[in-house]
Amino acid sequence: MKYLVTGAAGFVGSHLTDALLARGHEVVGLDNFSTGQDRFLEEAGHSDRFTLIRGDLRDGFTLRRGIEGVDAVYHMAANADVRGGLAAPRVDLEQNTIATFDVLEAMRAAGVSRIVFASSSAALGEPEQVPTPETCPIPSQTSLYGASKMACEGFISAYCEGYGFEGYAFRFVSLLGPRYPHGHVFDFVKQLLADPSTLRILGDGSQRKSYLHVEDCVRALMQICEDVRPAIRGPRKFQVYHLGVPAFCVIRDSVRWICEELGVSPRLEFGTGNRGWIGDNPFVFLDVQKAMSAGWAPSHTIESSVRETARWLVANRWILDRRR
């Protein structure tokens, strides 16, 4: 099969690209390199089944060029800076909601009708039901990022109903693993490498979070949308899956694992309250039974993912120092 992967030079997109190529597929990768990294595509670049398009989704010509002739689209490109939403709210609208709509329209024009979408647990706001299943009540959004992702899901599902598209949305918890470009492990390792004596933590450290290894994530996308796809197609052509591990940690645990990996014993400076920032959900824990019933299971624990990520960041300090 031939796939377009948007955001192919990003954290998830590059792992997905590698995994699709490893399965023998052709991949067209599209990225504007606003946050994507050339180094993430070094491995893919060695394959003659990989084509890279440097350009912006929001340029119609680039998008049409990327979609031409593919069997399906893995739409991973997004503004992933959840915390930055309040400083520039239009970014989430434009780069997530409108850009996804543009992808749908370009697909329709090109006769491509299968889309796999990277949604987020952030689109669930602060659910009362924890662990949170796909059938949870309509959320009150707590971040512009979450609102923009849920809006994408809505438009994709409307395209499934109205134009016969086949859509898969995966709401995943925060991911960890090699090429991890931002988030709390990134922030902590960066701080500790600069000054091992002190670690400042947003919030009181009691936030309970679930983390998934990026390799487990991309395996779920492929298993569900390729392997078990025929079995799960019901009357509705839009399917949602929650992805995470059936466990959670508290931020204080993660701090301990990171400090052990780095061999440091900093003084910890906690903030107040159980939210790191406005929109931070103090308890992220998804019910992943639906994905597991489809034959998928995560292979990494949260602890091993945090530790591996910390080691990768130490070995790849360039990413901590990059301008963007």
Question: Which stretch, 19-27, 55-63, 233-241, 315-323, contacts its own copies (CB under 8 A)?
Answer: 233-241
Binding mask 274-313 for its own copies (x = CB under 8 A): ----xx----------------------------------
Question: Which stretch, 139-147, 189-197, 300-308, 311-319, contacts its own copies (CB under 8 A)?
Answer: 139-147
Q: Is 258 in the site for its own copies (CB under 8 A)?
A: no
Q: Which of 162, 194, 263, 324 binds its own copies (CB under 8 A)?
A: 162
Residue 134 or 187: the one with the smaller Cβ distance to its own copies is 134
Token pair in block for residue 272: 């107040």
Q: Which of 22, 154, 299, 317 binds its own copies (CB under 8 A)?
A: 154
Q: Which of 38, 42, 71, 161 binds its own copies (CB under 8 A)?
A: 161
Q: Which of 81, 105, 187, 253 binds its own copies (CB under 8 A)?
A: 105
Q: Which of 1, 22, 163, 289 binds its own copies (CB under 8 A)?
A: 163
Residue 213 or 237: the one with the smaller Cβ distance to its own copies is 237
Residues 136 and 90 sit within 8 Å (Cβ to Cβ): no
Give the DSSP letter string of 41-57. Answer: GHHHHT-TTEEEEES-T
Phi, psi dihedral angles at 111 (to 5 degrees): 75, 25
Token pair in block for residue 174: 């925060």
Token pair in block for residue 303: 């602890």
**∠ CA(108), CA(90), CA(209), 5° rounding?**
90
Distances (CA, A) of 88 to 33, 93, 119, 187, 322: 20, 10, 20, 21, 22
Where in 4-63 is the site for its own copies (CB under 8 A)? none
Q: What is the dihedral of CA 308, 313, 314, 317, to 10 degrees?
A: 160
Residues 122, 127, 130, 135, CA torsion sign: negative
What's the closest the beta carbon of residue 28 comes to its own copies, in angstroms? Answer: 24
What's the closest the beta carbon of residue 251 comes to its own copies, in angstroms? Answer: 21
| Spatial CA neighbour of 16 closest among 96, 70, 76, 103 | 76
Q: Which residues bind its own copies (CB under 8 A)?
A: 85-86, 89-90, 93, 97-98, 101, 104-105, 125, 134-144, 146-148, 150-151, 153-155, 157-163, 236, 238, 240, 278-279
